[in-house]
Structure 1
Amino acid sequence: MPQLPALASFRPRLMRDLKGYDRDRLFKDVGAGATVGIVALPLAMAFAIASGLKPEAGLWTAIIAGFIISALGGTSVQIGGPAGAFIVIVYGIVERYGVANLLISTASAGVLLFLLGLFRLGTLVRYVPVSVVIGFTNGIAVLIALSQVRDLLGLEITKMPADFFAQIGTLAGHIQSFNPYAFGLGVVCILGLFAWPRLWAVDSQFRRQLDQIQTVSALRATSRLPAPVVALITLSLLAWALHMPVETIGTRFGGIPQDLPAFALPDFSWETVKLLVTPTLTIALLGAIESLLCARVADQLSDTPKHDPNQELMAQGIANAVVPFFGGMPATGTIARTVTNIRAGATSPVAGMVHALSLAAVVLLAAPLAQHIPLAVLAGVLMFVAWNMGEWREFNRMKRFSNHYRLMMVSTFLVTIVFDLTVAVELGLVLAVVLFVRRQSEIFRAEPVAETDQQITFQLYGSLFFGAVAKIDAIVARVEQAGGPLNVVLDATRLISLDTSGLDALESLHKEIAKRGGRLEFLGLNEQPRSLMERSGFADRLRESA
């Protein structure tokens, strides 16, 4: 009886990192967590609003999911929460199925993510080609930027459609409601986000001049504030002080509740779940890819032990299964906040837990102030996120790679924009498989190396599989042209592998040779081809006809 594969052990990285934990590491983690909590504040609200949800949905997702992912995850420094990659997906689900069904989809995706980790399938995500990942990442970045044009221009549009071309048509149809105040705030926000870190760079002229000022220590303290937070505070104060006629969180959503989120069960039925199979798979696939890609980035940037992909998926699954019951949205690993966490000195998952708690404290204490935040400023933050999210240099580097790579990347990019991520990833994977089969079939060769009147020897190279069996037809043709008995020797010392389709082609070749009174012989069979021939009985038939 075949044995079932061993399940993954549930071992959160936190348990390992707390061994030998000391005061110095605690101070570093608390400082890093508080910094990331401040960074997460504007991003969480912006991601939720752009997804068609209320800002508190993003905030409490960052708090609850962020705490669970850090406490139970398989990495030391990764930060979890709402991510820009989900904006397009979530908005489409809300548009087509409604918020209640988004919650069911997210919870179902959480269960699926947990099972992927439990059955040790975390490594499968690595099989997605990098060209496909770059293609849909750039496509999502374009869609995020497009979704923010309404608020950046201050257009009076009640609801944006989910379709790409419909969005463009809607924006063009309302361009007459352009608000120069909103546009000005958004542009200043974007420029400030680009300029802020450059102003405080060690080699900047601005920094050199400040070195001559006695109050440089206080100014340097200001430089530690994240650029999105500086933009949010300064531009919100400017809009409020000047009474700018721009839409804010308060005017659109009525502000952010200062209470803890209530536990509520969404309306659940199996009939609804059946309709949500595609959205659920999309959330699970994207969540797995994003979280494990983020974990790999964290491995490269920090000195902490390498991540456990299966434990990370189980933690992501638990977080996504819990968050919907508090009105949250899908969560995953977030690269920008993870990098901030690492650079701030984080040493363990405690930093991620502190990030969630500090964000909760800010929400509960300062929620009324959020109603003054202009939506154009949040749009500027997301435009900046979209720019940093895209791998735009890859388009210029495409000329260095094969046509296969270009086809997969460009097609995935375009389909992500025009249709949706699910179709794009499916198309990208299908193309990857087809092009891989084609490339492998080109590698296989059957070359004649010696020939007499009664015998011909062929050297086999590569893998004889379903995509390469047509090349055996050339040997069959030589047998038919011989007119009389012909012995065929196949030198298989360089035959790497053989599948059942390849075996069937060899069976047909053997029958044609035996029909004419000749025999088929193999030399130097490797283990895998020999094993398949023995198990199928083909080796016995060869010996009987010898």
Structure 2
Amino acid sequence: MFIDKRFHPYSLGSFRKDLLSGLIVGVIAIPLGMAFAIASGVKPEYGIYTTIVAGILISLLGGSKYQIGGPTGAFIPILFGIVMTYGYENLLIAGFMAGIILTLMGIFRLGSLIKWIPRPVTIGFTAGIAITIFTGQIASFLGLTGIKKHEEFILNLKEILVHLNSINLFSLLTAGICLMIVLLTPKIAPKIPGPLIGLLVSTLVATICYPGHVATIGTAYGEIPSTLPRLHVPSVNLEVILKLLKPAFVIAMLGGIESLLSAVVADGMTSSRHNSNKELIGQGIANMITPLFGGIPATGALARTATNIKNGAVSPFSGITHGIVVLLVLLFFAPKASYIPLASMAPILMVVAWNMSERKVFAHIAKTRSTDSIVLLVTFFLTVFVNLTSAVEIGLVMSAILFVKRMSDVTTTAKALPNPQHRQGKVETSMVTDTHDCPQISIFNVEGPLFFGAAQTFEKTIMETINFRPKILLLRMSKVPLMDTTGEAILASIVKHFSKSGIVLISGLNPQPESVLKKTGLLDVIGQDHFFEHTGEAIQYGLTQINENKCLGCKHFAFRECKRLSAQEVVENRAKLTATF
């Protein structure tokens, strides 16, 4: 019988640890699930449904032993925008489509590709999301009334400023109590879930001391049902699919990034190793099934995963337990959640935003004042003032362009000659001067990847030499790790022009560039006998191909053989013959 390796080995002691950890994480997940749902523009129970269904499925089917799945803060701006633009029903369809995309990514083993997203981009949009979440809770924290929600950050900020005179002191007091407890609990009693205690205490204070003076979940959204909703399949057609394709793709990308980042952190905390492709498949299946129960998109939750590990979890059973705990709370205590003030939810989300902001890493990258800091700031500001989709797209494009620029700067092409002071005649670029350069053999050290970003500079440097028409062009390519088709095309152009009056020799060609030249046929055009493993062999061959008459009178003495070939040795021989006769 097949046994998931993530559960092996397992014992009664392991079960007790998973049970305790799952209970603690489940208790923490309840207020967070409701808060994330409300901030996303949907009813709080949808966050609970997501925590139950997605939480159990991600742990059961994913690729990490410790991953806790559910609704997360990173999704808030995306989901809120979708709800505002397309409505809740279409959000479910977009979430289902995102699940399909994630599953396909896992099946086609694309898990490693997401890890290639540059850190400045991920830190930039994460910090931007944190700002959006934090400012989005100010109205609830202060108890402002008459607030209209918008997708645009500036408009939401304007709403707060316009309605600032409607501050509710009871809401401010309630939020302050909850915030104080959330901040102090980890310092006083680290094992106690601060968000839940803060929620309970502030709710009791508001209910007993000033009932009816603050907005609650019940007054804003109605009573939370104490059961899971029936299975519901949204109606879908081609027009809806095409309309929601982009939002679904964004959900899938963000979900994939966050889940794999969370899994990587879990690996670091436990010295374990997750299966990224299996994790994507698990996330995909969870996001396909969760919308059928009214749940919103879910992904790996870093903070809850870390809490799971710190409380002794040893297998995915802790994540399954956390989902069951939330289900039991829903069944027996859901109606009581209607009394929770919205002001109590706000500080919980504000603390989540503060913790996810990566402020120290953000400041560290920004201080470098490099191209990475430019990408970071552009991604951050676009996330806040435009949207996450544009931020990631432009951030990735900028990163790619700047990477190409850096790589092209690394690639160099320079003339070189053997160093006569070196025992083995090491070929160095510093040897070439106006008075020390062979007119018939041009040697070039080519260093760095020969790709589209560097090919033009390579061509320009070489073509300037071709204008002098040397007999031999020797390219030392032992430090060229790779070549793309653009680099091959430029090299082919050089070979074509140079072969009209000379010979191209190549030494030290690496396997990848050699494979490219074989596939394109350029290797045969140059000639198998014109490739050498060592530069010395190539130089010796080149000296046999030069016009020795042109060596007469040459004063450069670029090679050790030059003295024999030059007029100086001829004159010395003639003098000896004259003396003999």
Does residue 1:68 correspond to 2:36, yes or no? no
SS at match of 1:459: strand
Between the aligned partners of 2:354 and 2:188, the Cα distance in structure 1 is 19
Indicate the residue corresponding to 2:508 in structure 1: 524
Q: Which moved more, 1:45-54 or 1:342-351?
A: 342-351
Residues 490-514 of structure 1, C-alpha deviation per residue, up to 9 Å, x if partnerless?
A: 1112222111111111122223323
Stretches (4+) displaced over 3 A: 17-20, 399-402, 473-477
Residues 290-341 of structure 1, C-alpha deviation per residue, up to 9 Å, x if partnerless?
A: 11111111111225x3111111111111110001111110001101111111
Indicate the residue corresponding to 2:453 in structure 1: 467
8 Å contact 2:120–2:365 — kept in the other structure?
A: no
Residues 203-260 of structure 1, C-alpha deviation per residue, up to 9 Å, x if partnerless?
A: xxxxxxxxxxxxxxxxxxxx74210111011100000001251100011011211122
Indicate the residue corresponding to 1:255 in structure 2: 223
Shift in Å at residue 480 of structure 1?
4.9
AA in 2 matched with 1:58? G
Indicate the residue corresponding to 1:370 in structure 2: 337
8 Å contact 2:147–2:159 — kept in the other structure?
A: no
Which structure has more relative contact order (CA 8 Å, sep 6+)? It is 1
TM-align CA RMSD:
1.9
SS at match of 2:400: helix
8 Å contact 2:124–2:362 — kept in the other structure?
A: no
AA in 2 matched with 1:265? V
Residues 341-370 of structure 1, C-alpha deviation per residue, up to 9 Å, x if partnerless?
A: 111111111111111111111111011111
Between the aligned partners of 2:503 and 2:6, the Cα distance in structure 1 is 66
Instruction: State which of 78, 81, 87 in structure 1 corresponds to 2:67.
Output: 78
Shift in Å at residue 474 of structure 1?
3.3
Does residue 1:100 correspond to 2:89, yes or no? yes
SS at match of 1:496: coil
Judged with a 3 Å threshold, the aligned counterparts in structure 2 of structure 1 residues 544 and 124 are, in CA distance, closer, same or farther, namely closer
SS at match of 1:346: coil
Indicate the residue corresponding to 1:452 in structure 2: 438
Instruction: State which of 23, 30, 34 in structure 2 corresponds to 1:34.
Output: 23
Between the aligned partners of 1:356 and 1:544, the Cα distance in structure 2 is 66
Indicate the residue corresponding to 1:308 in structure 2: 275
Q: Equivalences for 1:433-512 in 2 at 5 Å? A: 433-450=400-417, 451-482=437-468, 484-512=469-497
8 Å contact 1:479–1:512 — kept in the other structure?
A: no
SS at match of 1:328: coil
Judged with a 3 Å threshold, the aligned counterparts in structure 2 of structure 1 residues 13 and 430 are, in CA distance, closer, same or farther, namely farther
Indicate the residue corresponding to 1:270 in structure 2: 238
8 Å contact 1:13–1:76 — kept in the other structure?
A: no
8 Å contact 1:14–1:350 — kept in the other structure?
A: no
Between the aligned partners of 1:478 and 1:342, the Cα distance in structure 2 is 63
Indicate the residue corresponding to 1:211 in structure 2: none
Structure 2 unmatched runs, 5+ = 418-436, 531-581
Indicate the residue corresponding to 2:295 in structure 1: 328
Judged with a 3 Å threshold, the aligned counterparts in structure 2 of structure 1 residues 18 and 394 are, in CA distance, closer, same or farther, namely closer
8 Å contact 1:14–1:71 — kept in the other structure?
A: no
Indicate the residue corresponding to 2:188 in structure 1: 199
Judged with a 3 Å threshold, the aligned counterparts in structure 2 of structure 1 residues 13 and 486 are, in CA distance, closer, same or farther, namely farther
Between the aligned partners of 2:485 and 2:62, the Cα distance in structure 1 is 42
SS at match of 2:115: helix
Q: Which moved more, 1:162-171 or 1:139-148?
A: 162-171
TM-score for both structures, normalised by structure 2: 0.85
Q: Which moved more, 1:270-279 or 1:536-545?
A: 536-545
Between the aligned partners of 1:388 and 1:521, the Cα distance in structure 2 is 59
8 Å contact 2:134–2:349 — kept in the other structure?
A: yes
Aligned residue-pair number: 510
SS at match of 1:294: helix
8 Å contact 2:17–2:313 — kept in the other structure?
A: yes
Between the aligned partners of 1:357 and 1:331, the Cα distance in structure 2 is 17
Between the aligned partners of 1:492 and 1:28, the Cα distance in structure 2 is 58
Indicate the residue corresponding to 1:537 in structure 2: 521
8 Å contact 1:465–1:499 — kept in the other structure?
A: yes
Q: Which moved more, 1:392-401 or 1:270-279?
A: 392-401
AA in 2 matched with 1:37? G
AA in 1 matched with 2:386? F
Instruction: State which of 188, 206, 211 in structure 2 corresponds to 1:239.
Output: 206
Between the aligned partners of 1:71 and 1:535, the Cα distance in structure 2 is 46
Q: Which moved more, 1:489-498 or 1:394-403?
A: 394-403
Between the aligned partners of 2:250 and 2:3, the Cα distance in structure 1 is 29
SS at match of 2:322: helix
8 Å contact 2:174–2:205 — kept in the other structure?
A: no
AA in 1 matched with 2:240? T
Q: Which moved more, 1:531-540 or 1:323-332?
A: 531-540
Indicate the residue corresponding to 1:283 in structure 2: 251
Q: Equivalences for 1:2-401 in 2 at 5 Å? A: 15-157=4-146, 159-200=148-189, 224-244=191-211, 245-302=213-270, 305-398=272-365, 401=368
Shift in Å at residue 519 of structure 1?
2.0
Larger radius of gyration: 2
AA in 2 matched with 1:268? V
Shift in Å at residue 196 of structure 1?
1.5
8 Å contact 1:50–1:147 — kept in the other structure?
A: yes
SS at match of 2:443: strand
SS at match of 2:4: helix
8 Å contact 1:154–1:246 — kept in the other structure?
A: yes
TM-score for both structures, normalised by structure 1: 0.90
Between the aligned partners of 2:40 and 2:400, the Cα distance in structure 1 is 33
Q: Which moved more, 1:41-50 or 1:25-34?
A: 25-34
SS at match of 2:476: strand
SS at match of 1:491: strand
8 Å contact 1:460–1:491 — kept in the other structure?
A: yes
